[in-house]
């Protein structure tokens, strides 16, 4: 397999402001020294409790948040992470699908406008962009007459399909999927997951799959990174990490997953600080 993403020691800090002039007083280290590689066609899950830095990492990978430090290569090509313009090149091969299908689509634009904008911004004609939009809509399982409708006319699952179609407009090789099923009903979740698997099987797209759902990750991903307080605690093959976790934090995270065995109450891990 060839390497699609290589991330070395990414750190992302949020500036924290205080005082009457709202000056930056310090930085909050949301992601610290995280490294991983993603092979072509592979699904890498990023798991960890709320606030561990999953979404921050996801957004930095497409340049929506600045990197404090680290190095990044996309299909063997090194990216200047300090240069925001370098990320416009990255976004031709690395696209993001967001958690909330209700807010991630502009309510004032038709589906056609949402889908064709990225191509028309690259100078592609409206006719050609429209044709591609029809193809991508069909691929995600929506009728082409959806093009003239607005996002509020669709269900949550359909909106998530529109989000995936938007990502597909530029023929990406990697999709960063940030909690893409967590706002959906279980039955709709399954359909969206099936569509994500189809991306991998039919188009060879690799996925960075951000999730807090450990059971889902176990059945869906190939590799996993476990994060805690912005740092990587453990990584490896999903079965190895989630069945035989080595790090105490991963062990506690797995122990906190509720079981359907009603005779046994779920184990509640003791409050511990794993960052030291």
Ligand X SMILES: Nc1ncnc2c1ncn2[C@@H]1O[C@H](COP(=O)(O)OP(=O)(O)OP(=O)(O)O)[C@@H](O)[C@H]1O
User: Could you list the residues that contact ligand X (CB under 6 A)?
Assistant: 14, 28, 30, 48, 50-56, 212
Question: Residue-wise over 202-231: b if at least 16 C-beta within 10 A, else e?
Answer: eeebbbbbbbbbbebbbebbbbbbbbbbbb
Shortest Å distance, C-beta 270 to ligand X: 21
Shortest Å distance, C-beta 51 to ligand X: 4
Helix ranges, the chain (H): 54-61, 86-93, 111-120, 126-139, 156-168, 186-203, 214-220, 238-243, 248-255
Cα distance between residue 137 and residue 219, in whole Å: 27
Shortest Å distance, C-beta 86 to ligand X: 22
Shortest Å distance, C-beta 93 to ligand X: 23
Instruction: Name the residue nearer to ligand X (CB basis): 162 or 210.
Output: 210
Instruction: Name the residue nearer to ligand X (CB basis): 49 or 89.
Output: 49
Shortest Å distance, C-beta 246 to ligand X: 21
Shortest Å distance, C-beta 28 to ligand X: 5
Instruction: Name the residue nearer to ligand X (CB basis): 53 or 163.
Output: 53
Whether 44 and 222 have beta carbons less than 8 Å apart is answered as yes
Instruction: Name the residue nearer to ligand X (CB basis): 53 or 118.
Output: 53
Cα 160 to Cα 13, 150, 183, 207, 213, distances in angstroms: 29, 13, 10, 16, 18
Instruction: Name the residue nearer to ligand X (CB basis): 34 or 147.
Output: 34
Instruction: Name the residue nearer to ligand X (CB basis): 260 or 271.
Output: 271
Q: Which helix (H) or strand (E) holds 29?
A: strand 23-39
Cα distance between residue 7 and residue 77, in whole Å: 12
């Amino acid at each position: 397999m060839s390497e699609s993403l290589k991330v070395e020691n990414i750190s992302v800090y949020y500036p924290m402001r205080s005082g009457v002039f709202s000056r930056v007083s310090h930085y909050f280290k949301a992601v610290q020294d995280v490294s991983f590689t993603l092979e072509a066609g592979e699904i890498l899950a990023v798991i960890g409790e709320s606030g561990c830095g999953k979404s921050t990492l996801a957004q930095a990978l497409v340049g929506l948040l600045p990197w404090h430090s680290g190095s990044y290569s996309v299909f063997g090509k090194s990216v200047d992470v300090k240069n925001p313009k370098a990320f416009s090149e990255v976004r031709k091969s690395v696209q993001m699908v967001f958690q909330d299908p209700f807010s991630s689509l502009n309510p004032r634009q038709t589906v056609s406008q949402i889908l064709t904008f990225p191509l028309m911004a690259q100078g592609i004609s409206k006719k050609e962009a429209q044709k591609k939009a029809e193809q991508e809509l069909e691929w995600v399982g929506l009728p082409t007459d959806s093009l003239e409708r607005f996002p509020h006319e669709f269900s949550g699952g359909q909106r998530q399909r529109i989000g995936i179609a938007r990502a597909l407009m530029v023929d990406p090789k990697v999709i960063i999927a940030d909690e893409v099923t967590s706002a959906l009903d279980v039955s709709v979740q399954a359909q969206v997951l099936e569509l994500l698997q189809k991306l991998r099987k039919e188009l060879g797209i690799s996925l960075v799959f951000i999730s807090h759902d450990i059971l889902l990750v176990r059945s869906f991903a190939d590799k996993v990174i476990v994060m805690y307080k912005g740092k990587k605690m453990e990584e490896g093959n999903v079965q190895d990490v989630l069945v035989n976790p080595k790090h105490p934090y991963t062990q506690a995270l797995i122990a906190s997953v509720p079981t359907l065995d009603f005779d046994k109450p779920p184990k509640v891990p003791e409050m511990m600080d794993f960052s030291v």
